[in-house]
A = this chain, B = another copy of it.
Protein backbone atom coordinates (compact mmCIF):
# COMPACT_ATOMS: atom_id res chain seq x y z
CA UNK A 1 0.00 0.00 0.00
CA UNK A 2 3.05 2.26 0.34
CA UNK A 3 5.32 4.14 -2.01
CA UNK A 4 4.91 7.53 -3.57
CA UNK A 5 2.43 6.21 -6.15
CA UNK A 6 0.45 3.84 -3.91
CA UNK A 7 -0.47 0.28 -4.86
CA UNK A 8 -1.20 0.90 -8.54
CA UNK A 9 2.33 0.47 -9.86
CA UNK A 10 3.02 -2.29 -7.32
CA UNK A 11 0.08 -4.30 -8.62
CA UNK A 12 1.14 -3.71 -12.21
CA UNK A 13 4.67 -4.85 -11.42
CA UNK A 14 3.33 -7.92 -9.63
CA UNK A 15 1.21 -8.94 -12.59
CA UNK A 16 4.16 -8.49 -14.95
CA UNK A 17 6.38 -10.65 -12.72
CA UNK A 18 3.74 -13.38 -12.52
CA UNK A 19 3.58 -13.51 -16.31
CA UNK A 20 7.36 -13.57 -16.63
CA UNK A 21 8.03 -16.19 -13.94
CA UNK A 22 5.68 -19.19 -14.05
CA UNK A 23 6.94 -20.63 -10.75
CA UNK A 24 6.31 -17.40 -8.84
CA UNK A 25 3.52 -17.03 -6.30
CA UNK A 26 2.78 -13.54 -5.01
CA UNK A 27 0.79 -12.38 -2.02
CA UNK A 28 -0.48 -8.82 -2.05
CA UNK A 29 -1.12 -7.37 1.39
CA UNK A 30 -3.48 -4.43 1.75
CA UNK A 31 -7.04 -3.30 1.31
CA UNK A 32 -8.76 -6.12 -0.63
CA UNK A 33 -11.38 -4.07 -2.47
CA UNK A 34 -8.77 -1.64 -3.81
CA UNK A 35 -6.38 -4.44 -4.77
CA UNK A 36 -9.14 -6.48 -6.43
CA UNK A 37 -10.08 -3.46 -8.47
CA UNK A 38 -6.48 -2.93 -9.59
CA UNK A 39 -5.99 -6.56 -10.65
CA UNK A 40 -9.41 -6.76 -12.30
CA UNK A 41 -9.34 -8.58 -15.63
CA UNK A 42 -6.18 -10.56 -14.99
CA UNK A 43 -6.13 -13.91 -16.78
CA UNK A 44 -7.31 -16.85 -14.67
CA UNK A 45 -4.01 -18.74 -14.93
CA UNK A 46 -1.92 -15.95 -13.39
CA UNK A 47 -4.69 -15.05 -10.95
CA UNK A 48 -4.35 -18.50 -9.39
CA UNK A 49 -0.80 -17.58 -8.27
CA UNK A 50 -1.87 -14.28 -6.76
CA UNK A 51 -3.21 -14.21 -3.22
CA UNK A 52 -4.65 -11.22 -1.41
CA UNK A 53 -4.26 -10.92 2.34
CA UNK A 54 -6.27 -8.21 4.05
CA UNK A 55 -4.62 -5.47 6.12
CA UNK A 56 -6.80 -2.56 7.22
CA UNK A 57 -4.13 0.02 7.98
CA UNK A 58 -1.51 1.85 5.91
CA UNK A 59 1.75 3.36 7.13
CA UNK A 60 2.25 6.74 5.50
CA UNK A 61 5.56 7.88 4.03
CA UNK A 62 6.22 10.47 6.74
CA UNK A 63 5.14 8.42 9.73
CA UNK A 64 7.69 7.98 12.51
CA UNK A 65 8.99 4.43 12.91
CA UNK A 66 7.95 4.32 16.57
CA UNK A 67 4.42 5.32 15.61
CA UNK A 68 4.30 2.63 12.91
CA UNK A 69 5.46 0.06 15.45
CA UNK A 70 3.05 0.90 18.23
CA UNK A 71 0.05 2.47 16.57
CA UNK A 72 -0.83 0.22 13.64
CA UNK A 73 -1.01 -3.49 14.41
CA UNK A 74 -2.83 -4.21 11.15
CA UNK A 75 -0.71 -2.23 8.68
CA UNK A 76 0.00 -3.84 5.30
CA UNK A 77 3.72 -3.66 6.04
CA UNK A 78 3.44 -5.41 9.35
CA UNK A 79 1.06 -8.09 8.11
CA UNK A 80 3.41 -8.82 5.19
CA UNK A 81 6.35 -9.21 7.56
CA UNK A 82 4.29 -11.49 9.82
CA UNK A 83 3.51 -13.72 6.82
CA UNK A 84 7.26 -13.92 6.24
CA UNK A 85 8.00 -14.68 9.90
CA UNK A 86 5.35 -17.42 9.89
CA UNK A 87 6.83 -19.06 6.80
CA UNK A 88 3.81 -18.35 4.61
CA UNK A 89 5.93 -16.35 2.16
CA UNK A 90 9.69 -16.47 1.51
CA UNK A 91 10.45 -12.77 1.05
CA UNK A 92 8.87 -9.37 1.60
CA UNK A 93 9.12 -6.47 -0.88
CA UNK A 94 7.95 -2.98 0.04
CA UNK A 95 8.05 0.48 -1.51
CA UNK A 96 6.87 2.07 1.73
CA UNK A 97 8.40 4.17 4.48
CA UNK A 98 12.03 2.99 4.90
CA UNK A 99 12.33 3.79 8.59
CA UNK A 100 9.06 2.03 9.40
CA UNK A 101 10.02 -0.99 7.29
CA UNK A 102 13.33 -1.23 9.13
CA UNK A 103 11.75 -0.88 12.58
CA UNK A 104 8.99 -3.39 11.80
CA UNK A 105 11.44 -5.84 10.19
CA UNK A 106 13.62 -5.81 13.28
CA UNK A 107 10.61 -6.20 15.57
CA UNK A 108 8.77 -8.89 13.62
CA UNK A 109 11.62 -10.91 12.06
CA UNK A 110 14.45 -10.20 14.51
CA UNK A 111 18.05 -9.85 13.47
CA UNK A 112 20.51 -12.68 12.95
CA UNK A 113 22.64 -13.60 15.98
CA UNK A 114 25.53 -11.13 16.32
CA UNK A 115 23.77 -8.36 14.41
CA UNK A 116 22.37 -5.33 16.24
CA UNK A 117 20.99 -3.51 13.24
CA UNK A 118 20.18 -4.61 9.71
CA UNK A 119 21.77 -2.55 6.94
CA UNK A 120 20.67 -1.52 3.48
CA UNK A 121 23.01 -2.51 0.68
CA UNK A 122 23.03 -1.93 -3.07
CA UNK A 123 25.55 -2.47 -5.86
CA UNK A 124 27.26 0.73 -7.03
CA UNK A 125 28.97 0.77 -10.44
CA UNK A 126 32.71 1.43 -10.46
CA UNK A 127 35.41 1.73 -13.10
CA UNK A 128 36.11 -1.99 -12.77
CA UNK A 129 32.69 -3.46 -11.93
CA UNK A 130 30.52 -3.01 -8.87
CA UNK A 131 30.99 -2.46 -5.19
CA UNK A 132 28.51 -3.25 -2.44
CA UNK A 133 27.89 -0.04 -0.52
CA UNK A 134 26.32 -0.17 2.93
CA UNK A 135 24.62 1.24 4.89
CA UNK A 136 22.50 3.32 2.52
CA UNK A 137 20.32 5.09 5.01
CA UNK A 138 18.69 2.59 7.34
CA UNK A 139 20.96 3.54 10.22
CA UNK A 140 22.14 6.98 11.20
CA UNK A 141 24.26 7.60 14.30
CA UNK A 142 26.09 4.27 13.98
CA UNK A 143 28.75 3.07 16.38
CA UNK A 144 32.06 1.51 15.34
CA UNK A 145 30.62 -1.91 16.28
CA UNK A 146 27.78 -1.36 13.85
CA UNK A 147 30.24 -0.55 11.09
CA UNK A 148 32.08 -3.78 11.88
CA UNK A 149 28.82 -5.72 11.56
CA UNK A 150 28.08 -3.98 8.25
CA UNK A 151 31.53 -5.00 7.03
CA UNK A 152 30.91 -8.62 7.91
CA UNK A 153 27.50 -8.61 6.23
CA UNK A 154 28.73 -6.80 3.15
CA UNK A 155 31.62 -9.22 2.81
CA UNK A 156 29.30 -12.22 2.98
CA UNK A 157 26.83 -10.66 0.55
CA UNK A 158 29.66 -10.02 -1.94
CA UNK A 159 30.75 -13.66 -1.55
CA UNK A 160 27.27 -14.90 -2.42
CA UNK A 161 27.60 -12.77 -5.56
CA UNK A 162 30.66 -14.76 -6.57
CA UNK A 163 33.60 -12.76 -5.20
CA UNK A 164 35.83 -15.23 -3.38
CA UNK A 165 37.74 -12.83 -1.16
CA UNK A 166 35.98 -9.46 -1.20
CA UNK A 167 38.15 -6.44 -0.47
CA UNK A 168 36.42 -4.60 2.37
CA UNK A 169 37.14 -0.89 2.97
CA UNK A 170 35.90 1.80 5.34
CA UNK A 171 34.79 5.04 3.70
CA UNK A 172 36.81 7.94 5.09
CA UNK A 173 38.12 11.41 4.23
CA UNK A 174 41.68 10.20 3.82
CA UNK A 175 43.61 6.96 3.73
CA UNK A 176 46.07 7.78 6.51
CA UNK A 177 45.43 6.31 9.96
CA UNK A 178 44.98 9.71 11.58
CA UNK A 179 42.17 10.77 9.24
CA UNK A 180 38.46 10.67 10.01
CA UNK A 181 36.05 10.93 12.89
CA UNK A 182 36.16 8.87 16.06
CA UNK A 183 33.62 6.37 14.79
CA UNK A 184 35.58 5.44 11.70
CA UNK A 185 38.95 5.33 13.47
CA UNK A 186 37.57 2.95 16.07
CA UNK A 187 35.90 0.84 13.39
CA UNK A 188 39.27 0.51 11.64
CA UNK A 189 40.80 -0.89 14.83
CA UNK A 190 37.98 -3.40 15.13
CA UNK A 191 38.26 -4.45 11.49
CA UNK A 192 42.02 -4.91 11.69
CA UNK A 193 41.42 -7.39 14.48
CA UNK A 194 38.48 -9.18 12.82
CA UNK A 195 39.14 -12.69 11.54
CA UNK A 196 38.13 -13.82 8.09
CA UNK A 197 37.62 -10.36 6.62
CA UNK A 198 39.87 -9.08 3.87
CA UNK A 199 40.01 -5.56 5.31
CA UNK A 200 42.07 -3.30 3.07
CA UNK A 201 41.83 -0.05 5.06
CA UNK A 202 40.28 3.35 4.43
CA UNK A 203 38.91 4.33 1.06
CA UNK A 204 38.00 7.82 -0.17
CA UNK A 205 35.02 8.78 -2.31
CA UNK A 206 37.08 8.75 -5.49
CA UNK A 207 38.68 5.41 -4.65
CA UNK A 208 35.22 3.88 -4.43
CA UNK A 209 34.51 4.82 -8.04
CA UNK A 210 37.97 3.67 -9.11
CA UNK A 211 36.92 0.21 -7.97
CA UNK A 212 39.47 -0.13 -5.18
CA UNK A 213 37.14 -2.22 -3.00
CA UNK A 214 34.36 -4.79 -3.40
CA UNK A 215 32.59 -3.73 -0.21
CA UNK A 216 32.52 -0.16 1.09
CA UNK A 217 31.26 0.43 4.60
CA UNK A 218 29.89 3.67 6.06
CA UNK A 219 27.07 4.83 8.28
CA UNK A 220 23.65 5.31 6.73
CA UNK A 221 23.84 9.08 6.76
CA UNK A 222 27.02 9.16 4.68
CA UNK A 223 25.98 6.28 2.41
CA UNK A 224 22.63 7.83 1.61
CA UNK A 225 24.18 11.17 0.77
CA UNK A 226 26.83 9.53 -1.41
CA UNK A 227 24.15 7.55 -3.26
CA UNK A 228 21.78 10.43 -3.82
CA UNK A 229 24.45 12.96 -4.75
CA UNK A 230 25.80 10.43 -7.28
CA UNK A 231 22.31 10.08 -8.78
CA UNK A 232 22.01 13.85 -8.94
CA UNK A 233 25.43 14.31 -10.50
CA UNK A 234 24.84 11.64 -13.14
CA UNK A 235 21.55 13.31 -14.03
CA UNK A 236 23.26 16.69 -14.28
CA UNK A 237 26.04 15.36 -16.51
CA UNK A 238 23.49 13.64 -18.75
CA UNK A 239 21.57 16.91 -19.06
CA UNK A 240 24.73 18.83 -19.94
CA UNK A 241 25.75 16.33 -22.58
CA UNK A 242 22.24 16.35 -24.01
CA UNK A 243 22.39 20.14 -24.21
CA UNK A 244 25.78 19.96 -25.91
CA UNK A 245 24.53 17.54 -28.52
CA UNK A 246 21.45 19.65 -29.17
CA UNK A 247 23.40 22.87 -29.53
CA UNK A 248 25.51 21.76 -32.43
CA UNK A 249 23.64 20.69 -35.55
CA UNK A 250 26.40 18.38 -36.74
CA UNK A 251 26.53 16.66 -33.40
CA UNK A 252 22.83 15.96 -33.03
CA UNK A 253 22.99 12.68 -34.89
CA UNK A 254 25.83 11.54 -32.69
CA UNK A 255 24.00 12.50 -29.55
CA UNK A 256 21.90 9.43 -30.18
CA UNK A 257 25.06 7.43 -29.59
CA UNK A 258 25.99 8.93 -26.23
CA UNK A 259 22.56 9.34 -24.70
CA UNK A 260 21.63 5.67 -24.30
CA UNK A 261 24.91 5.19 -22.45
CA UNK A 262 24.11 8.08 -20.14
CA UNK A 263 20.61 6.76 -19.50
CA UNK A 264 21.97 3.34 -18.65
CA UNK A 265 24.58 4.91 -16.42
CA UNK A 266 21.90 6.91 -14.62
CA UNK A 267 19.99 3.70 -13.99
CA UNK A 268 23.22 2.06 -12.83
CA UNK A 269 23.86 4.93 -10.47
CA UNK A 270 20.40 4.74 -9.00
CA UNK A 271 20.47 1.07 -8.02
CA UNK A 272 18.40 1.70 -4.91
CA UNK A 273 15.85 3.52 -7.04
CA UNK A 274 15.84 1.09 -9.94
CA UNK A 275 16.69 -2.28 -8.46
CA UNK A 276 15.83 -2.01 -4.82
CA UNK A 277 18.17 -2.36 -1.90
CA UNK A 278 18.43 -5.38 0.35
CA UNK A 279 18.13 -5.35 4.11
CA UNK A 280 20.97 -7.50 5.39
CA UNK A 281 21.09 -9.08 8.84
CA UNK A 282 17.46 -10.06 9.33
CA UNK A 283 15.99 -13.53 9.84
CA UNK A 284 14.24 -13.24 6.49
CA UNK A 285 14.52 -11.58 3.09
CA UNK A 286 13.31 -8.00 2.88
CA UNK A 287 13.85 -5.87 -0.22
CA UNK A 288 13.14 -2.18 -0.14
CA UNK A 289 12.01 -0.73 -3.43
CA UNK A 290 12.51 3.02 -3.75
CA UNK A 291 9.39 5.01 -2.84
CA UNK A 292 9.44 6.70 -6.22
CA UNK A 293 10.08 3.47 -8.14
CA UNK A 294 7.79 2.92 -11.08
CA UNK A 295 6.52 -0.39 -12.39
CA UNK A 296 9.94 -1.45 -13.68
CA UNK A 297 11.63 -0.49 -10.44
CA UNK A 298 9.27 -2.56 -8.36
CA UNK A 299 9.66 -5.47 -10.78
CA UNK A 300 13.42 -5.32 -10.24
CA UNK A 301 12.87 -5.39 -6.49
CA UNK A 302 10.75 -8.55 -6.83
CA UNK A 303 13.48 -10.07 -9.02
CA UNK A 304 16.07 -9.27 -6.41
CA UNK A 305 13.98 -10.99 -3.74
CA UNK A 306 13.73 -14.04 -6.02
CA UNK A 307 17.51 -14.21 -6.37
CA UNK A 308 17.99 -13.94 -2.62
CA UNK A 309 15.52 -16.81 -2.12
CA UNK A 310 17.44 -18.92 -4.64
CA UNK A 311 20.75 -18.03 -3.01
CA UNK A 312 19.44 -18.63 0.50
CA UNK A 313 21.04 -15.39 1.54
CA UNK A 314 19.94 -15.23 5.21
CA UNK A 315 21.05 -18.85 5.80
CA UNK A 316 24.43 -18.26 4.22
CA UNK A 317 24.80 -15.03 6.14
CA UNK A 318 23.94 -16.82 9.37
CA UNK A 319 26.53 -19.52 8.77
CA UNK A 320 29.30 -17.07 7.95
CA UNK A 321 28.41 -14.77 10.83
CA UNK A 322 28.75 -17.67 13.25
CA UNK A 323 32.23 -18.39 11.92
CA UNK A 324 33.34 -14.78 11.77
CA UNK A 325 31.91 -13.37 14.96
CA UNK A 326 32.32 -16.40 17.23
Kindly list chain B residues whose C-beta atoms are within 8 Å of the C-beta of A257. 244-245, 248, 251, 254
Tell me whether A173 is interfacial, beta carbon within 8 Å: yes
Q: How far is the CB of A54 from chain B (nearest CB, A)?
A: 29
Tell me whether A233 is interfacial, beta carbon within 8 Å: yes
CA distance A206 to B178 in the complex (A): 31
State whether B180 touches A236 (Cβ < 8 A): no
- Interface stretch among A85-93, A158-166, A191-199, A222-230? A222-230
Q: Which single residue of chain B is at the shortest CB-CB distance from A219? A: B181
CA distance A221 to B210 in the complex (A): 20
Please give the count of copies of this chain that the complex contains.
Answer: 2
State whether B233 touches A269 (Cβ < 8 A): yes
State whether B251 touches A228 (Cβ < 8 A): no
Tell me whether A143 is interfacial, beta carbon within 8 Å: no
State whether A241 touches B258 (Cβ < 8 A): yes
> Can you list, as one digit per residue, whether each of A254-270 has a CB less than 8 Å from chain B (1) or not (0)?
10011001100100010
State whether A206 touches B180 (Cβ < 8 A): no
CA distance A137 to B261 in the complex (A): 33
Contact of A235 among B171, B204, B209, B269 (CB under 8 A): B209
Kindly list chain B residues whose C-beta atoms are within 8 Å of the C-beta of A235. 127, 206, 209-210
CA distance A185 to B49 in the complex (A): 46
Number of A interface residues at 8 Å Cβ cutoff, please give it: 56
Q: Contacts A241-B258, A258-B241; is A180 near B140 (CB within 8 Å)?
A: yes
Q: Contacts A251-B254, A258-B241; is A225 near B222 (CB within 8 Å)?
A: yes
Within 8 A of B (CB), among A163-208: 171, 173, 176, 178, 180-182, 184, 204-208
Q: How far is the CB of A109 from chain B (nearest CB, A)?
A: 23
Tell me whether A234 is interfacial, beta carbon within 8 Å: yes
Tell me whether A239 is interfacial, beta carbon within 8 Å: yes
State whether B241 touches A261 (Cβ < 8 A): yes
Contact of A229 among B62, B137, B230, B241 (CB under 8 A): B230
A contact set with B: CB distance below 8 Å: 62, 64, 99, 125-127, 137, 140-141, 171, 173, 176, 178, 180-182, 184, 204-210, 218, 220-222, 224-237, 239-241, 244-245, 248, 251, 254, 257-258, 261-262, 265, 269
